[in-house]
A and B are shown apart, each in its own frame.
Chain A
């Protein structure tokens, strides 16, 4: 595992809302090409960690390094350049509701590339067809289903062929089949793009299906209590909370 090149390094990170410390002493490395899972119970700060990693919220202390650049200590121009390498799928899809799917996917292209309008249209069609939404270019987000919105969000996240993809609860609110299809799609697309992927989730099926590295955030201890391949954690971890989480609480039942 460690023969790969580190892509994202989180160093001594503490995240807080005002005086309330959510998590402290987070240290982990995401290697290039990893599908890295951030897991933990509801309210443990998974999404906040993602916000800090993508530049939406500053950490209380600590660093987020992209290769050798510390995101929160570098210049705004460099931050913007780094953000151009991110693709983010938000929990709700977060499509811009006043724009069609085509406009949603083309905005990042207009922002960061020099492509002319017809080239942009071609790229947008390609991205939408990759997520199975060819022909829906003129639809508004309110006119399509929740699963389709997630896929459209994925198309937008991939618009710039990003180096790093962040997914916030990708399968939340989807039926099991759609969730599975989305997982497969994420794996397929990231493998072909060669991107590094960070997924925030608590869906066990997704965690075992797509993750090859992970950290576990313990809401009671307010820090990370495990890291590594989720399947290995299931087999080897001795932390009772991690085991309960990964076995959906079954081990606790047996202990009774």
Chain B
């Protein structure tokens, strides 16, 4: 291109250019884009172009490309907004999201209110199916993770405790850590990745397919029909999963303690029993119920907010997981401080 322009500029002033394409074999869109650039440059220099030498197909494509002039305001400008505008936009976005969250919480509270007075409209079969999905179906992954977490806690603790010959306290460490914190957090995170994402994707896909619109125009509240059974299922199943994770985690610690550190079966069990009390369990189970609410809210909220495209469903699922995990960790931190202050 540059060479052609150099030649055109160096010699005597050109009046017109023509094309000889006798030796031209196959051509593709590259030729067209090249020719458009050539025509553009030469029309700037007010040099005529004679297209007759070009193959018929090329001429027709060139005409077609020029048939509709470029729409002036259609191209998106890569505007760099001033810093203050960006801050303003971000703040407005946060305000909007907070508003959406509050509205969602309000609507779900109303839905729960209707549930308690027996007026909520949803299919019982949906509730049982969701209970199965976030209960029984989650058992294998909860078993694996809790067992491994129990073993890891036992290993880490045992290496330190063995220095004082106090391996027996592995039982205390594993028992208390699982009951108070780890079972609830691990099931929360598992359910965020497994169920929260599924909720967001299911409801998001229903948004894309206009299924949510169809519900609204049938006079069925999506909050009652879609969100309520999912929240209910997760709130009921999370404490049960947490209890189960406690048991499996303690079992993991037991395997390490008895298998590698010469603690007998009865010793380990007795030590665990002495270390734990109902408060520990109660606290963990309470936390898991709270985490269940958080995962359900994040999953359903992101699903309901989902845009109308396939990528929006992916974004909704990702955002549901991220929001749930962040909320779980933050709320767990707050609860840790509160329990510390009130001394339980």
Where the two chains meet, the residues of A that have a C-beta atom closer than 8 Å to any C-beta of B are: 51, 54-56, 80, 83-84, 86, 88, 90-92, 94-98, 107-108, 111-112, 156
B214 engages A96 (CB within 8 Å): yes
Residues of B contacting A88 in the complex (Cβ-Cβ under 8 angstroms): 214, 217
B218 within 8 A of A: yes
Count of chain B residues with Cβ under 8 Å from any Cβ of A? 15
B51 within 8 A of A: no
B76-84, B204-212, B297-305 - the one binding chain A: B204-212
Number of A-B contacts (CB under 8 A): 47
Where the two chains meet, the residues of B that have a C-beta atom closer than 8 Å to any C-beta of A are: 121, 126, 205-206, 209-211, 213-220
Given A94-B210, A94-B211, answer yes or no on A111-B121 (Cβ-Cβ < 8 Å): yes
Distance between A91 CB and nearest chain B CB, rounded to angstroms: 7
Given A83-B219, A97-B206, A111-B218, answer yes or no on A56-B121 (Cβ-Cβ < 8 Å): no
Residues of A contacting B121 in the complex (Cβ-Cβ under 8 angstroms): 111
Interchain CB contact (< 8 A) of A98 among B126, B213, B216, B219: B126
Interchain CB contact (< 8 A) of B219 among A84, A92, A94: A84
Residues of B contacting A97 in the complex (Cβ-Cβ under 8 angstroms): 205-206, 209, 211
Given A55-B217, A111-B218, answer yes or no on A94-B126 (Cβ-Cβ < 8 Å): no
Most central of B211, B213, B214, B220 by chain A CB within 10 Å:
B214
Distance between A113 CB and nearest chain B CB, rounded to angstroms: 12
Q: Which residue of A lies closest to B126 (CB)?
A: A98
Distance between B11 CB and nearest chain A CB, rounded to angstroms: 40
Distance between B253 CB and nearest chain A CB, rounded to angstroms: 41
Most central of B213, B216, B217 by chain A CB within 10 Å:
B217
Q: Which residue of A lies closest to B121 (CB)?
A: A111
Q: How far is it, in angstroms, between the C-alpha of A83 and the C-alpha of B213 when the chains are bound? A: 12
Distance between A110 CB and nearest chain B CB, rounded to angstroms: 8
Given A97-B206, A97-B209, A111-B121, answer yes or no on A90-B214 (Cβ-Cβ < 8 Å): yes
Distance between A14 CB and nearest chain B CB, rounded to angstroms: 21
Residues of B contacting A111 in the complex (Cβ-Cβ under 8 angstroms): 121, 218-220
Q: Which residue of B lies closest to A88 (CB)?
A: B217
Residues of B contacting A91 in the complex (Cβ-Cβ under 8 angstroms): 210
Q: How far is it, in angstroms, between the C-alpha of A69 and the C-alpha of B214 when the chains are bound? A: 22
A107 engages B218 (CB within 8 Å): yes
Residues of B contacting A84 in the complex (Cβ-Cβ under 8 angstroms): 219
Most central of A51, A91, A96 by chain B CB within 10 Å:
A96
B217 engages A96 (CB within 8 Å): no
Q: How far is it, in angstroms, between the C-alpha of A96 and the C-alpha of B215 when the chains are bound? A: 9
A112 engages B219 (CB within 8 Å): yes
Q: Which residue of B lies closest to A56 (CB)?
A: B213
Residues of B contacting A94 in the complex (Cβ-Cβ under 8 angstroms): 209-211, 213-214
B219 engages A80 (CB within 8 Å): yes
Q: How far is it, in angstroms, between the C-alpha of A94 and the C-alpha of B219 when the chains are bound? A: 15
Residues of A contacting B206 in the complex (Cβ-Cβ under 8 angstroms): 96-97
Q: Which residue of B lies closest to A96 (CB)?
A: B211
A90 engages B218 (CB within 8 Å): no
Residues of A contacting B126 in the complex (Cβ-Cβ under 8 angstroms): 98
Interchain CB contact (< 8 A) of A54 among B211, B215, B217, B220: B217
Residues of A contacting B209 in the complex (Cβ-Cβ under 8 angstroms): 92, 94, 97
Q: Which residue of B lies closest to A104 (CB)?
A: B214
